[in-house]
Amino acid sequence: MSALKIAVVPVTPFAQNCTIVSDETTREAVVIDPGGDIEKIMMPVNRLALRVKEIWLTHGHLDHAGGALDLQDALAGDEKPPIIGPSAEDAMLLSGLSVQAQLFGLPGMRDVTPDRFLREGDTVSVAAHRFEVLHCPGHTPGHIIFINRQARFGQLGDVLFQGSIGRTDFPYSDPGALLRSIREKILPLGDDFSFVCGHGPASSVGHERRTNPFLQ
């Protein structure tokens, strides 16, 4: 199997890690969490001549999903790449993206209705690279993560960060559910499992198990 390539493009004033996952041989790719700044996302897509097959969303916050429709439009050729994810429990957030954006002074973001919601046990792929979908609520009710066991890699959105965990001060958040998601879904992946998170530097399960104060 050819190599899986990862490019991270920080977008929006929240410095959210939009992640481009591609296959080295076929140049097939997906874009995970295009929160905005579409021209920045398109630069590596065009430079590497990637064929973006799908747009994946981990959850419904504006810095992760607010640019999904604009990216879809920018990538439209014979066919628009579908927007896939998150879990249906975040539909209420996706339908309010434009309101979220106005509250933060970020005009132009549009509400999103995904072409397909995802749930625990579903799989998605980039060329021959298969990613499992795990439902990890707590930060938002419908938050999902994408994991590739063969590559020992995942995109965890705003569940687990280097040295921290996702915010749980929203009315719909659940601190207990977030910690259960981490302990029951992420820590069992193994210490050598590396990940890109929604903000900040990448990390590994082992590093967070040993050093993250929220997991001690």
* pLDDT tens figures, 88-99: 999 999 999 999
pLDDT tens, position by position, 124-133: 999 999 999 9
**Rounded Cα–Cα distance for residues 194 and 106 (Å):** 32
Please state the rounded mean pLDDT for residues 19-41: 97
Cis geometry, peptide bond prior to residue 175 (ω within 30 degrees of 0): no
In sequence order, the β-bridge partners of residue 8 are 19
pLDDT at 83: 98
pLDDT tens, position by position, 160-186: 999 999 999 999 999 999 999 999 999
**For residue 1, pLDDT beyond 70:** no
Strands of the sheet with 51-56, listed across from one edge: 4-11, 16-23, 28-32, 51-56, 83-84
Does the predicted TM-score (pTM) go above 0.95? yes
- Which amino acid, one-letter code, is at 75? L
**Rounded Cα–Cα distance for residues 214 and 175 (Å):** 11
**For residue 206, pLDDT beyond 80:** yes
- Which amino acid, one-letter code, is at 106? L
Q: Which helix (H) or strand (E) holds 100?
A: helix 97-103
Phi, psi of 102 (to 5 degrees): -65, -40
CA distances from 68 to 7, 33, 149, 152 (A): 17, 7, 26, 27
User: For 80-120, where are the E strands, in sequence order?
Assistant: 83-84
Phi-psi region of 114 (alpha: psi -120 to 50; beta: other; left: phi over 0): beta
pLDDT at 24: 94
> What number of CA atoms fall less than 13 Å from residue 23's CA on the CB side?
16
Q: Return the CATH number of 4-215, one of 1.10.150.570, 3.40.630.10, 3.40.980.10, 3.60.15.10.
A: 3.60.15.10
